[in-house]
Amino acid sequence: MRPFVTRHSPLASCLLPLVSCLLPCGAQSSALSSQPPSTANPDAVNVRSLGAKGDGKADDTAAFMEAAAIAGKEMRTIYVPRGVYRVAKPIVLKNAALHGPEPGAWPADTDATPVIIPTHRDGPCIELTAGGSIRGVCIRYEWQKEPEHGPPAILISGIGAWVSSVKIMYPWDGIMTDGVSNVGRLNIADVFIVSPRNVGVRVTGTWDVPALRNVEVWNAGPVARGLEKGIGFDLGKNDLIRLTDCFAFAMNVGFLLRDKIPGCKIEGGTWGVMTGCSTDYCSIGIRVEGENTVSVSGGTFWQHHNGLIVDGEKARVRLTGAEVKSNGAPAITVLSADHAVITGCSLLRPMQEHAGPVVEVKTGRVILQGNHIEGHGSAIVIGEKAREVVMNGNLVDAVEPKVDDRRKETPKPK
């Protein structure tokens, strides 16, 4: 009867007296209080009903294992009420969902969701195989000292996995695909990852259109770490991956696209788009290595060093409508590329004490069109081995020479 009370509807006002009359005298309050906690899914398996304490002290592993078994067998979901649960083994979900209460807020700066504390270090907290999903919970690691290695909080090893409204605190790795399985149509949305020591999110092996939306990798404590380590988003072999409004803070590389990821059997480049993604206080904003094809639209990338590095003879990169600001290195560095097209961007290198080129092209084919380029050194440096560089309609505010073209003259064709 509690749902009637909480909604305060006119119907509830009419039904409550009727319910009171139907209950035996003295049994009304006990009947109401004995009702199981309300969930968004009344068919869910409640871990509390299986013996979980959720007091932050008890070992609740057995209850979660039993809930996962029941959910997989009976095609039900797992409900985790608010509380703090300690588990000592990976929770494996196949064609099953684990969820907390319907979240009423973005699970960032306050713990409005149930907390799961993994006490083991020989496997993930949650493993999502085919059709597994997790929503509305917080996974929090407790370390006795700064870790040198560790498992991912969430491991994905099957197609159709879904992670949403999840907070992950202090993991070695946040969310990782296993690097062996096809994890196509992976969806990760509204996720906040706090202080990963190694990688925030790694996605590789998606043969069909995965999506990452509003995923934030925030490295700001509790233990300070220099910018020489850490990857926000590590992307390997992906077919039309879509990243929207993703953000990396204080990592060595915000977004890394590469053909080969150590420890992963699956190899190959990413084909995809990044829309409205951003970085701040990273060493490098975006690094593209090998044979990757990516279109980056919008966003703000403020770095200590490079904003964008392209390093792959077959790399194809299009950057449009973004602001790229760097301090100790060029905003754009093209070491090699099939082509890199930079249009309608603000390319900035504002610090006088770190004067240098705003854009540097070593080799490859590059188009710079309609950009605002500003710095305290040369605006554009073109190396001797650069193949083709086309510049058109750029607004340049930099120390002379605005364009330092170091290529040797080639004889014109007859």
pLDDT tens-place string over residues 44-86: 999 999 999 999 999 999 999 999 999 999 999 999 999 999 9
Query: How confident is the model over 332-348, as pLDDT tens digits?
Result: 999 999 999 999 999 99
Tokens of 276: 């409205």
Asked if 113 and 138 touch (Cβ cutoff 8 Å), the reply is yes
| pLDDT range class, residue 360, cuts 50, 70, 90 | very high
Give the strand pairing for 211-218 and 403-405: unpaired
Rounded to whole angstroms, the Cα distance separating 341 from 345 reads: 11
Query: How confident is the model over 263-307, as pLDDT tens digits?
Result: 999 999 999 999 999 999 999 999 999 999 999 999 999 999 999
Q: What is the pLDDT, as a whole number, of residue 25?
A: 39
Tokens of 177: 């695909």
SS3 sequence, 166-230? Answer: EEEECCCEEEEECCCCCCCCCEEEEEEEECCCCEEEEECCECCCCEEEEEEEECCCCCCCCCCCC
Phi and psi at residue 270, to the nearest 5° = -95, 140
Q: What is the pLDDT, as a whole number, of residue 289?
A: 96
Rounded to whole angstroms, the Cα distance separating 46 from 66 reads: 10
Q: What is the pLDDT, as a whole number, of residue 413?
A: 43
**Residue of higher predicted confidence among 10 and 303:** 303
Phi and psi at residue 268, to the nearest 5° = 135, 165
Quick check: helix, strand or coil at residue 61?
helix
Asked if 101 and 81 touch (Cβ cutoff 8 Å), the reply is yes
Rounded to whole angstroms, the Cα distance separating 71 from 294 reads: 39
The one-character DSSP state at 286 is E
CA-atom Rg of the chain in angstroms: 26
Over range 99-123, report the average pLDDT: 87
| pLDDT range class, residue 409, cuts 50, 70, 90 | low
Average pLDDT, the chain: 88
Rounded to whole angstroms, the Cα distance separating 405 from 119 reads: 58
Residue 376: pLDDT over 60: yes
Rounded to whole angstroms, the Cα distance separating 334 from 314 reads: 12
Asked if 294 and 259 touch (Cβ cutoff 8 Å), the reply is no
**Residue of higher predicted confidence among 151 and 146:** 151
| Percent above pLDDT 70 for the chain | 87
Residue 27: pLDDT over 60: no
H or E stretch including 33? helix 28-33
Q: What is the pLDDT, as a whole number, of residue 88?
A: 98
Please report, for the chain, the start and end positions of each structural domain, with discontinuous segments joined by +.
1-35
- Give the max Cα distance, the chain: 107
Rounded to two decimals, the pTM is 0.88
Over range 17-44, report the average pLDDT: 44
Identify which of 410, 347, 361 has the alpha carbon closest to the alpha carbon of residue 389. 361
Residue 39: pLDDT over 70: no
Tokens of 65: 């294992």
| pLDDT range class, residue 7, cuts 50, 70, 90 | very low
Residue 18: pLDDT over 80: no
Over range 136-154, report the average pLDDT: 94
Chain centroid, CA 180 distance in Å? 20
Over range 91-96, report the average pLDDT: 96
Angle of CA points 110, 112, 114, to nearest 5°: 120
Chain centroid, CA 58 distance in Å? 31
Rounded to whole angstroms, the Cα distance separating 306 from 333 reads: 7
Query: How confident is the model over 165-186, as pLDDT tens digits?
Result: 999 999 999 999 999 999 999 9
